[in-house]
Amino acid sequence: MSSNQACVFVLGANDRSRSATALENLRSIMGVGDALLAAVEGAAPTWLDALAKRWRAEVVPIAELGTRLAQEAQDRPYTIFVDDHTYLLGKWSQELLARLGEAESVLGHPCVAAPRSPSIVGVQRIILSEGVVLQRRQDLRDFSQKWTEAHRGIWTQERYVSSALFAVSTSTLATQPSGSAVQTWSGIHAAVMRACVPVVAHGSIIYGNQVIETRQDAALQTSRPPATVPYVSVCMIMKNEERFIAQALDSVLELADEVVIFDTGSTDDSIRIARDKGAAVLEGEWRNDFGWARNQALAACRGKWILWIDADEVVEADPSDFRAELRQAEEEYEGLSVRILNEVGSGLETPSTHWAMRAFRRSDGMFSGALHETVWSRLGDRSVYATACTSLQIRHYGYLNSVMTERNKGVRNVEIASKSHSFRFPQEKKVHEARSRMLLGEWDQAAAIALEVARDREGPESFIRLAWRVAIDSLLFAGRVEEAAELLEEAADAPLGPVFLSYLRGELDQARGRHAEALEHYLAIGETYRDGDGWEITTDHLRSKVIQCHESLGNPRAALDLALASLGEGRLDLHLGKLIEWADASGTSLEEVARRLPSQRRELVFAQLLQLDPQTADSFLDAAYAMWGRDMHVLAAASLVARRLDVQRQLAWSLRLRAAGLASACPLAFTANDPAAPEHRRKAAAQALEAGVGTN
């Protein structure tokens, strides 16, 4: 026996051939102090007696197992039940029993532990990578060794485990009812599931000679204690994030059971803020490797599921819906791909979006890559298998102009990409360096590096596709339009796909001033499109491109109509100044623009009035006041805009504000008492105030 403690093995004997193989496999790993029982429902068949004699096993009717195990409890503290459908190789039992003991110590309650398997349906299932063949005995041995090394020490609390193979403390079994109450293998399993907390020992692996279905029974969970280990762990890294960390943590506190942060050397107030919010902060160092840093945080997480975010991100989700989606996904997938909205520029532009694997089962994934890190299988042979997440999205603020300037991200990323040796593929290293140089505006260098990868066509197709996009975009940004056109023709045979090709052709035609042709390309795409790499062309982004084309083609009414329709659907964030400009050019009244503005966008839109010239802003506010009367958004904006108007317009707005009970916001009173205003303007305002509204 591979464990330090003696053990009872109980084989569920149903078939002569399968039982013979199972008994042989069990005997090969058993120690001197272990006991081997062959359990049978009813009377033992003659073939079982013969096998038991050969492999020194004791035949015991299932109805008598409770009594028999009571005799073993003191000398053999663990019992492993093995169905004869299983095929056993390697040191699976050592890891299984070690994790069983650890789980019982942590949870303070009897547990039942089960292994992983490619043959078991449900939470124990191992999803094999494409091309993995497990036919020969040596194939199974090699895979088992790799699997155990990659998953050693990991266990998770589950709702259920299969009856194919499970381990439990013998003393727990000895107290279960015997006789007529438990006479079948499924009855033993049900009794154990009622009394014990199910856990999976992820470093223990077995096989089966057929697909083994797993039966869930909610009634078996009623007597168990509630989960005392986390289900969802938020995993983060940070350095000098006092500007963002509080809002990031506030967004996940309700959906996470724990938050673990690896700090890479903060010198500001980040650590105190995070700890005050309840996060566990590990203080470490920065090694120019994002994947390594995230794995430090991951190693300290205890949850079954890992949600990883950056400190400058905010999670938008309903906690109960997200947990329900995790429950649904955990039997078939290793992770969830999440939509990420990257706020860019000043924050008023349409966000750029992509999808990335941001939630994964801790037992199956780990971080890889020094820059733009991703989650890979713990075996290191592929990325984690994921499905799209519908209940959660992430908003990222790290690409705002102010943040990019403050952190000098481009320089940092170029240094990591050019010097790190922890990338899995040389193409990955080069593409990320090209992307980093794009951030710095080094378009020529970015295009050259990306083009090297694109034309080489070696390595994963995802990096080749990304290289083509980076190369073409870099040339367009550099103003090398005709070279971009030649490259786009060359890319027709690349694995970009027709939708992205159409989008790139639209960008090229815009750069050439061929706006009608660009419009056709964008309209051909239609709605949101996402490729297999997670790169997304959203409806919002397409509409902004279409609006640009309409404007360039001298169709202000078409641009205005599409912009207002998009605002009404809660989509684009267009500046009010543009809407007014298109309205004026197309002869559209400001009243119509005000009428079509969605109420949920008024606060943002009216804040933009302060950026317009006072007369234009006043005209729009007048139209809005005529539409909505004493709307607080209108009055709040007017109180500020009117301070820059002439005295007569100040008087008009002062009367409206005072009529609404907002005398403290009176622009005439402000100007009359503004020491920065010229003396003649203060006097005029004071006289108008006294003549127009009185001293009250």
Residue 553 predicted with pLDDT over 90: yes
**Residue 287 belongs to a domain with what CATH number?**
3.90.550.10
pLDDT digits (tens, 9 = 90+) for 136-178: 999 999 999 999 999 999 999 999 999 999 999 998 876 655 4
Q: Are strands 197-205 and 111-116 parallel, antiparallel or unpaired?
A: parallel
Do 163 and 286 belong to one domain? no
- Which tokens in the block code for residue 8? 């009872």
Do 245 and 189 belong to one domain? no
- d(C-alpha 324, C-alpha 327), whole Å: 5
Residue 224 predicted with pLDDT over 70: no
Do 63 and 158 belong to one domain? yes
Residue 4 predicted with pLDDT over 80: no
Residue 571 predicted with pLDDT over 60: no
Instruction: Specify the amino acid at residue 258.
Output: E
Which of 114, 88, 89 is CA-nearest to residue 99? Answer: 114
Question: How many residues make up the chain in this entry?
Answer: 696
Longest dimension (CA), the chain: 116
- d(C-alpha 132, C-alpha 138), whole Å: 13
> The tokens 């500046």 sit on which residue?
575
Task: Determine the straight-line distance between the first and last CA of the chain, rounded to whole angstroms.
Answer: 95
Category of 156 on φ-ψ map: left (φ > 0), alpha (ψ -120 to 50) or beta: beta
> The tokens 């641009």 sit on which residue?
559
C-alpha to C-alpha distances, 351 to 220, 344, 571, nearest whole angstrom:
48, 6, 10
Do 12 and 75 belong to one domain? yes
Which residues constitute the domain of residue 236? 232-401
DSSP one-letter string for 586-618 = HT--HHHHHHHS-GGGHHHHHHGGGGS-HHHHH
Mean pLDDT score across all residues of the chain? 89
Do 461 and 528 belong to one domain? yes
Is 227 within the bounds of a domain? Answer: no
- What is the tally of structural domains in the chain? 4
Measured in whole angstroms, the distance separating CA 95 from the mean position of its chain's CA atoms is: 30
- d(C-alpha 461, C-alpha 544), whole Å: 29
Do 55 and 175 belong to one domain? yes
**Residue 484 belongs to a domain with what CATH number?**
1.25.40
Residue 570 predicted with pLDDT over 70: no
Domain-terminating residue out of 221, 245, 263: 221
Mean pLDDT across 225-249: 91
Which of 554, 550, 553, 552 is CA-nearest to residue 564? Answer: 550
More confident site: 350 or 459: 459
Do 590 and 674 belong to one domain? yes
Q: What pLDDT shows up at residue 178?
A: 46
What is the DSSP-derived secondary structure letter of residue 196? Answer: S
Residue 31 predicted with pLDDT over 90: no
pLDDT digits (tens, 9 = 90+) for 347-359: 556 778 899 999 9
pLDDT band at 346 (very low <50, low <70, confident <90, very high): low
**Do 80 and 166 form a contact (C-beta atoms < 8 A)?**
yes
- d(C-alpha 85, C-alpha 569), whole Å: 57
Is 596 within the bounds of a domain? Answer: yes
More confident site: 114 or 596: 114
Residue 102 predicted with pLDDT over 60: yes
Name the least confident of 267-281, 285-299, 413-427, 628-642.
413-427
Residue 327 predicted with pLDDT over 90: yes
Which of 300, 372, 373, 374 is CA-nearest to residue 334? Answer: 374
- d(C-alpha 78, C-alpha 31), whole Å: 13
Residue 44 predicted with pLDDT over 50: yes
Measured in whole angstroms, the distance separating CA 480 from the mean position of its chain's CA atoms is: 37
Is 88 within the bounds of a domain? Answer: yes
Which of 157, 73, 59, 150 is CA-nearest to residue 107? Answer: 157
Residue 507 predicted with pLDDT over 90: yes
Is 237 within the bounds of a domain? Answer: yes
C-alpha to C-alpha distances, 143 to 82, 378, 379, 555, nearest whole angstrom:
21, 13, 10, 64
Is 113 within the bounds of a domain? Answer: yes
Share of the chain above pLDDT 90, in %: 64
Do 392 and 420 belong to one domain? no
Do 393 and 411 belong to one domain? no
Instruction: Specify the amino acid at residue 536.
Output: E
Do 194 and 291 belong to one domain? no
pLDDT band at 481 (very low <50, low <70, confident <90, very high): very high
- Which tokens in the block code for residue 148? 């155990």
- Which tokens in the block code for residue 605? 């839109």
More confident site: 405 or 302: 302
What is the DSSP-derived secondary structure letter of residue 493? Answer: G
Triad 442, 447, 450: Cα angle to 5°: 120
Do 176 and 292 belong to one domain? no
Domain-terminating residue out of 197, 221, 245: 221
Sign, CA torsion 107/112/113/116: negative
Q: What pLDDT shows up at residue 348?
A: 59
Residue 507, classed as helix, strand or coil, is helix
> The tokens 């096998």 sit on which residue?
51
Is 328 within the bounds of a domain? Answer: yes
Q: What pLDDT shows up at residue 696?
A: 44
Sign, CA torsion 560/563/565/570: negative
Q: 109-113, 344-348, 415-419, 536-540: which has the highest mean pLDDT? A: 109-113
The model's pTM is 0.83
Residue 233, classed as helix, strand or coil, is strand
Q: What pLDDT shows up at residue 1?
A: 41
Do 524 and 579 belong to one domain? no
